[in-house]
Every structure is written in C-alpha cells, then in structure tokens.
C-alpha cells in the first residue's frame, strides 16, 4: 500500500499544508492535532490503556537501543512527523525510533527507523490506512501496530518495509512473547501491553 496520486484522486487534498500544521499550536489538553491529506484532524487525548501500552513500548525500545549500544538511535514518544509535503500529511505516532539528532520540533519521515501506532476505537479505517500508506511511501523501514480490544490481550503486528510495501513479520493475539522487527533486536511480551 503506497500513498500515490490515486489517493489524491479518491480524496481531494484539503487546504492545509504541512507548514500550516507546524504553525498550529498543539492542544493543551493532550489531544493530538494531525494533518491527513490536507485536513486537520483532532483526536481526543489518549486514555489510560492507550498511554500504558505506548509507555511500555517506549520503555522496551529505549532499553533495547541502550543494550545494543546504538548511540545513533533514540526512542521518542508522541512527536510530530512530516510524512509528505505533496500529500499534506503529518502525524503524531505514539512512539518513534529516530536516527541522528533529536533537538527539533518535528521530524522528517526520513529520520524515522520505526513508527509505532496504538490504535484506539476512535481511529477510523481511513485514518489507519492513510497513516500506514504514508509511512510506507515515506520509506519508514519498520512499523508496529497495536490494538487493545476490551477484556482481551493486545493484538500486536510488526512489519518490515520491502519494495512492495509493508510485509507482516509478527502477529500476536494471545499475550505471546515475540521478537519484533526493528533497527535493534527487541523482544516484546505482549501480555504486558494491557
């Protein structure tokens, strides 16, 4: 799945540019203001289960990067990422792994090694597909997706980018321990995400 001219034909681009999005103040209540195909989308502040899962994944990534002695990599929670200027898309993944410096207000997609999305019930299928397509077209090498079904273990999916898009390498639905694809070896006990 890639972001292409077909996306623009199916969904006309909105008036808001990535630079406009960068100039917008982020909400003070923890809501997230993202830009999808030229339209601003405000999502409510993530709830406790969402933040817990994102925090666990951040901690696992931070520790794995330190254990690998990769001083060129850094895990960061909830930073702005400029996916595509042409397709007017900029998002705030729950966690990212970036290479190079981190002293900036937003990151180019080319700075990312991994994007992590924890889906909430309010995330529409269109939003999910657009984000995944955007990460793929921006050539982000790894993507993790987590869903938190009520009363069930977290669903974890780990993807690696190849020439045709993302290829799923890991799928866990019953609290398994998995080795997730990424820039460093990462073992995740998916039972700790809920």
Q: Average pLDDT, whole number, for the chain?
A: 91
Mean pLDDT of 61-83: 96
Task: State the residue for tokens 């595509």.
Answer: 84
pLDDT of residue 121: 73
Tokens representing 35 are 């830009």
Which CATH number covers residue 18? 3.90.1570.10
What is the Cα–Cα distance from 45 to 86, expressed in whole angstroms? 28
Q: Is the pLDDT of residue 3 over 80?
A: no
pLDDT of residue 9: 47
What is the Cα–Cα distance from 183 to 99, expressed in whole angstroms? 10
Q: Mind listing the pLDDT tens digit for each residue in 9-64?
A: 466 899 999 999 999 998 999 899 999 999 999 988 899 999 999 999 999 999 99
pLDDT of residue 55: 97
Q: Is the pLDDT of residue 7 over 50?
A: no
Mean pLDDT of 139-166: 94
Q: Is the pLDDT of residue 2 over 70?
A: no
pLDDT of residue 10: 60
Q: Mind listing the pLDDT tens digit for each residue in 109-144?
A: 999 999 999 997 777 888 889 899 999 999 999 999
Burial code (b: 16+ CB inside 10 Å, e: under 16) for 10-43 equals: eeeeeebebeebeeeeeeeeeebbbbbbbeeeee
How many domains, the chain?
Answer: 1
pLDDT of residue 101: 80
pLDDT of residue 11: 65
Q: Which range marks the domain in which residue 159 is found?
A: 5-193
pTM of the predicted protein model? 0.91
């Amino acid at each position: 799945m890639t972001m292409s001219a077909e996306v623009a034909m199916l969904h006309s681009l909105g008036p808001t540019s990535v630079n406009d999005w960068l100039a917008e103040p982020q909400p003070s209540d923890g809501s997230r203001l993202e830009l999808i195909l030229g339209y601003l989308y405000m999502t409510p502040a993530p709830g406790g289960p969402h933040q817990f899962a994102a925090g666990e994944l951040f901690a696992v990534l931070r520790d794995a990067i330190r254990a690998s002695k990769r001083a060129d990599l850094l895990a960061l929670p909830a930073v702005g990422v400029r996916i595509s200027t042409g397709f007017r898309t900029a998002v705030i993944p729950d966690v990212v792994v970036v290479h190079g410096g981190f002293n900036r207000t937003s990151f180019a997609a080319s700075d990312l090694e991994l994007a992590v999305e924890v889906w909430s019930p309010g995330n529409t299928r269109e939003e999910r597909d657009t984000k995944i397509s955007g990460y793929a077209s921006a050539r982000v090498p790894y993507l993790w997706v987590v869903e938190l079904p009520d009363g069930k273990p977290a669903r974890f999916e780990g993807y690696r980018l190849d020439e045709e898009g993302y290829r799923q390498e890991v799928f866990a639905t019953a609290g398994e321990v998995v080795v997730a694809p990424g820039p460093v070896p990462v073992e995740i006990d998916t039972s700790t995400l809920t």
